[in-house]
């Protein structure tokens, strides 16, 4: 009992620390509820180091802890949830350079307490597997399309059609995230929320699901989710212009300018908080051609006449340059190996469909072949992890300057340039390996799903024979 009370006390202290630091950011002064919610959840994401983790890392942590085989309605005890989060951050440290290591215990504790504040308000000490998957799948980093595909896989049936009751349950769980940062009045769950997104009679496929949630505007209850990703994409964008209200010499993030007044522009902090100077303050308004999904939110959040818009959302974002490098022979071998696996898998599946139901020995052979394919992919995955670790060590060695180097010694300067060039090559190689490993994880997931289907075929055949 004493240990339990001490554990609860530590949890409450960590929880208070998170909310105190969030309150210190003065995010509650943001007038637009959508921006306010997105900024708060972005703060939680970065504070817990979840912005360094993508959905593929989350899926891998789930698999290592057996959550992929658990029923979605099963409950996770706090101790097991903490193990899952610790696994997530320990794996993150393996991918990070030694100079950028995170404190696993601190990140896991902060994230655990935030999840408990959102999903265990009564203090039972457990949350459902479905809630944990939806929460981590929504607020982790990475690409929003990958996250939405994973969410759809958890709320769809075997035919790839969304189950409406599961989508309603998804909204119940994911909208507890805004409620955990005190934005329940704006984005709390209502029974009409699911029907506002999809009609009950309509069959919703993956493409329809993605088109709806990424539409312009997106569903009102989830408008904060794509905005949180836009915040992450532009928060480091630099604008060498002066804000017309606070007169800072440069801006970071979003930039807003007046449609009517030449060269009148505001930084995101002034615009979000309703600051404007001169004649602009009397009828502060916004109309955004690049972000129309907030038009109805702005009309509710700002006391202004929307028929006479003043401010237009405007920002410059530097293009993410992707360096296209020629693939090495090793990478070509990896991709060709994956292609051969996929071709063999497709050929086996087609042959299986053409076989008569009574051919049970062949089905067992196919299962054996599929298991061998999965074992080969897992071995390949381990090899890539070892290669990444080796390259990371080489990268760290290349990053360290040679001892006692002289600034005027041309030989040492040439060696330093070669080391820097080697460092860049290693970074590019590590990025390529990470991408190859991600493709392998996708292929492995598909193989596991197909194996489950093939394992069910003998039972179906036997039942068919019994009926005959």
Q: 418 or 82: which carries more pLDDT confidence?
A: 82
Question: Which tens digit of pLDDT belongs to each residue from 148-173?
Answer: 999 999 999 999 999 999 999 999 99
- Average pLDDT across the chain, whole number: 77
pLDDT band with cut points at 50, 70 and 90 for residue 357: very low
Tell me the C-alpha to C-alpha distance, in Å, between residue 298 and each of 177, 286, 308.
22, 7, 13
User: With 80 as the cut, is the pLDDT of residue 409 above it?
Assistant: no
pLDDT tens across 241-252, in order? 999 899 988 899
Of 30-44, 207-221, 416-430, the poorest mean pLDDT is in 416-430
State the sign of the Cα–Cα–Cα–Cα dihedral 425, 426, 427, 428. positive
Which positions ≥6 away from 434 have C-beta within 8 Å? 95, 388
pLDDT range class, residue 23, cuts 50, 70, 90? very high
At residue 31, φ and ψ (nearest 5 deg) are -75, -30
* Per-residue model confidence (pLDDT) at position 418: 80
295 phi and psi, to 5 degrees? Answer: -60, -45
> What average pLDDT does this structure show over 430-439?
77
Distance, CA of 128 to chain centre: 20
- CB count in 10 Å sphere of residue 392: 18
Range in 127-141, 293-307, 337-351 the model is least confident about: 293-307
Residue-wise pLDDT for 108-127, tens only, equals 999 999 999 999 988 899 99
Residue 42 is predicted with a pLDDT of: 97
Tokens representing 120? 């265990």
Out of 3.40.800.20, 1.10.10.10, 2.40.50.140, 1.10.238.10, the CATH code matching 2-234 is: 1.10.238.10
Domain topology for 238-314: Wheat Germ Agglutinin (Isolectin 2); domain 1 (3.30.60)
Taking CA atoms, 423 is separated from 149, 312, 329, 378, 401, in Å, by 35, 43, 20, 29, 11
Banded model confidence at residue 367, pLDDT cuts 50, 70, 90: low
Does residue 307 register a pLDDT over 80? no
Model pLDDT, residue 451: 79
Higher pLDDT, 338 or 195: 195
Residue pair 50/147 in contact (Cβ under 8 Å)? The answer is no
Cα gap 217→215, rounded to integer Å: 5
């Amino acid at each position: 009992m004493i240990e339990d009370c001490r554990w609860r006390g530590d949890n409450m202290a960590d929880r208070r620390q998170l909310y105190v630091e969030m309150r210190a950011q003065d995010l509650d002064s943001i007038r637009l509820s959508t921006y306010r919610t997105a900024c708060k959840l972005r703060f939680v994401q970065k504070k817990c180091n979840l912005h360094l983790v993508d959905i593929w890392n989350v899926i891998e942590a789930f698999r290592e802890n057996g959550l992929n085989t658990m029923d979605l309605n099963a409950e996770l005890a706090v101790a097991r949830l903490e193990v899952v989060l610790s696994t997530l951050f320990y794996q993150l440290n393996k991918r990070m350079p030694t100079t950028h290591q995170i404190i696993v215990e601190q990140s896991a504790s902060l994230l655990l307490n935030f999840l408990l504040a959102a999903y265990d308000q009564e203090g039972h000490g457990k949350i459902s597997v479905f809630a944990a998957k939806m929460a981590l799948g929504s607020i982790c980093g990475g690409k929003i399309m990958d996250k939405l595909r994973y969410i759809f896989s958890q709320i769809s049936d075997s035919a790839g059609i969304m189950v409406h009751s599961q989508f309603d349950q998804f909204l119940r769980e994911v909208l507890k995230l805004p409620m955990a940062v005190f934005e329940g009045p704006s984005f709390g769950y209502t029974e009409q929320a699911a029907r506002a997104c999809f009609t009950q009679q309509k069959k919703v496929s993956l493409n329809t699901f993605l088109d709806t949630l990424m539409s312009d505007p997106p569903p009102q209850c989830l408008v904060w989710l794509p905005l949180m990703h836009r915040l992450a994409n532009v928060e480091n964008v630099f604008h060498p212009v002066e804000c017309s209200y606070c007169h800072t010499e440069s801006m970071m993030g979003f930039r807003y300018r007046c449609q009517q007044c030449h060269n009148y522009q505001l930084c995101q902090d002034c615009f979000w908080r309703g600051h404007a100077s001169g004649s602009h303050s009397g009828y502060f308004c916004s109309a955004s051609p690049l972000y129309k999904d907030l038009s109805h939110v702005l009309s509710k959040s700002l006391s202004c006449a929307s028929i006479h818009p003043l401010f237009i959302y405007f920002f410059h974002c530097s293009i993410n340059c992707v360096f296209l490098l020629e693939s090495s022979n090793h990478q070509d071998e990896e991709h060709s190996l994956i292609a051969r696996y996929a071709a063999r898998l497709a050929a086996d599946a087609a042959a299986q469909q053409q076989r008569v139901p009574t051919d049970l020995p062949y089905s067992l052979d196919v299962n054996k072949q599929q298991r061998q394919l999965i074992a080969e992919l897992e071995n390949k995955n381990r090899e890539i992890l070892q290669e990444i670790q080796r390259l990371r060590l080489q990268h760290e060695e290349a990053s360290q300057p040679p001892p006692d180097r002289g600034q005027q010694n041309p030989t040492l300067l040439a060696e330093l340039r070669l080391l820097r060039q080697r460092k860049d090559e290693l970074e590019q190689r590590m990025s390529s390996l990470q991408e190859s490993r991600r493709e392998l994880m996708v292929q492995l997931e598909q193989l596991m799903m197909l194996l489950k289907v093939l394992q069910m075929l003998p039972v179906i055949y036997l039942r068919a024979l019994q009926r005959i």
